[in-house]
Amino acid sequence: MQVKLICDGRREAAGSGMTQAKTQFGYRRHPDQDRIGADTAEHPVVVVGAGPVGLSFAIDLAQRGHRVVLLDDADRIGEGSRAICFSKRSLEFWDRLGVGDRMVDKGVVWSVGKIFHGASQLYQFNLLPEPGHKRPAFINLQQFYAEAYLVDRVEELPDISLRWRNKVTGLQQRNDRVVLTVDTPDGPYALHAAYVIACDGARSSLRQMVGAEFSGQVFEDQFLIADVRMTAAFPTERWFWFDPPFHTGRSALLHKQPDDIWRIDLQLHPDSDPVAEKKPENVRPRIARMLGHDRFEFEWISLYKFQCRRMDRFVHGRVIFAGDAAHQVSPFGARGANSGLEDAENLAWKLDRILRKTSPEGLLESYHIERSAAADENIRESTRSTDFMAPTTQQEARLRKAVLALAKDTEFGKRMVNGGRLSVPSVYDTPLSSADVDHWRGGPRPGASMPDAPVAARGAPIFLTEAFIKCGTHFTLLAFGNGAACEAPDGVSAIRIGGEGGLTDSEGLASFRYDAEPGTAYLLRPDGYVAARFRHPTPPALDAALARASGLN
């Protein structure tokens, strides 16, 4: 197959045999490589790893006005689809980075999942059953497309220096900086960085360099991922089978991607021979049984076992870990790439403030608190899904059998069936939040992310998430007008709903989703999370909440 990703300085390489979409980048010598000793280049931020997390983080920080060096040890994008499900929250983040439309235009939009047991359907769920959101619950998009679009965006930002085939081989922490040794085709060079952001994946070499533990649970079950190319009339839904007729006693997943590619995920027996299982001639008949025909080609086959684990500390001095480098989950629930993107979003605004010295370095601790709790939640959820799919004891298998049987007739049984609980943004229990003082019947509580809603600006429809981006993704006061609006503190943007010159809540959904009354105001953090909310805000209360959310107390 030929996936065309044509850009300056880039050529596409199609693999032989089983083809893989790849984008090749050129190594370019950087003037930093000629600077030695006392002249060694100094940078505020060096990001290691140009995957979705590192690229997104670099773009966010550059858009906030900082210079970023982004290193990657490879020189290409490719090697199969890997992550395919990107969540609403990730799309809203990418909207802020200016790449959301490209992702959604190319991606396959979906929100419905179906669960089957044997030959019959047990139930279906809809992850976004209500209208009035800019972004869908999920899109499916091959990771290489997401990375290619992010690289294109990086190339528009002169503050990012993206360096391929730059491999970090040494790391030394000093009081005021990190000294990196970087190997290149032209030999090694040194870089000094005030902060190093490690986004170098599950096998992170930076994690080893700081001597951090990475322990957790290893799952013995093996799964086989095959991306196949075919034209099929299956709907764009996530289909999950327990004990399907074509794969007795195991589980299976079918999911659509762009370009007529379908992701198939089959659970294998723990004692399967990996070499034999991966051979196309052995995979083909199994998938033919699943699809009922063999008119498909393989794009990618990969066999994997997985682990659920995380680092004890995400912040090691001046080296900060994000994405798979910091935590790993099973793939059921789309919690890998999406949680890494949430890491990037959480860290970027905090590091921005620290570099500008508007917040103390201690603000980084909130990154660890918020994102390690999110990692725990993701590990817990994905471990439960995995255990349900692959029960480890006879009694666990017996209970699962009972749940599947009860699911045929009862609502509670359906809800206990766990074929993957899909990624939703975490609600943070964090020192940056100011606790509610007023009475609320709904709306996002402090520590939750902002819900979207359709509004209008002088008659023109716009979404709240778009209004937030237009405000510059700073601290923002979302105020529901009553004519006597409270002034936003210095440096805080304002979105006003209702009142003179404010946005119109034409469908009443903004008020409903925020449990708003006249005078209600939400203080939003630069990542769109609620820091505090008030029925009738006063300047001292707003100032206190702002100071708390900035890590100033």
Residues that bind another protein in the complex, under the rule CB under 8 A? 395, 398-399, 401-403, 405-406, 410, 412-413, 416
Residue 441 CB, nearest distance to another protein (Å)?
23
For another protein, the closer of residues 281 and 409 by Cβ is: 409
Specify the DSSP class assigned to residue 391.
Answer: -
Query: Which residue, 397 or 456, is less far from another protein as judged by CB?
Result: 397
CA 252 vs CA 37, 256, 271, 277, 334: distances in Å: 56, 14, 18, 15, 16
| Residue closer to another protein (CB basis): 356 or 401 | 401
Please state the closest distance from residue 281 (CB atom) to another protein, in A.
38
Could you give the CA distance from residue 378 to residue 335 in angstroms, rounded to a whole number? 6
Nearer to another protein, 419 or 537 (CB): 419
At its nearest, how many Å lie between another protein and the CB of residue 118? 17
90 backbone dihedrals φ, ψ, rounded to 5°: -65, -40
Q: Which is nearer to another protein, 407 or 471 (CB)?
A: 407
> Least distance from C-beta 398 to another protein, angstroms?
5
Closest distance to another protein from the beta carbon of 416 (Å): 7
- The least distance separating another protein from the CB of residue 445, rounded to whole angstroms, comes to 21
Nearer to another protein, 175 or 412 (CB): 412
Question: Whole-number minimum distance, CB 122 to another protein, in Å?
Answer: 15
- Residue whose token pair is 């680092």: 311
Phi, psi of 422 (to 5 degrees): -85, 150
Q: Taking a C-beta distance cutoff of 8 angstroms, is the pair 447, 429 a contact?
A: yes
C-beta closer to another protein: residue 169 or 392? 392
Q: 151 vs 6, 173, 202, CA distance in Å?
A: 12, 29, 21
Of 350 and 400, nearer to another protein (C-beta) is 400
Structure tokens at 551: 């890590």
Name the amino acid, one letter, at 353.
R
Read out DSSP for 20-85?
A: ---EEE-----GGGG--GGG-EEEEEEEE--SHHHHHHHHHHHHTT--EEEEES-SEE-SS----E
Contact in structure between 290 and 264 (CB atoms under 8 Å):
yes
Planar angle of CA 367, 61, 358, nearest 5 degrees: 65
**What SS3 state is found at 298?**
strand
Closest contact distance (angstroms) between CB of 103 and another protein is 38
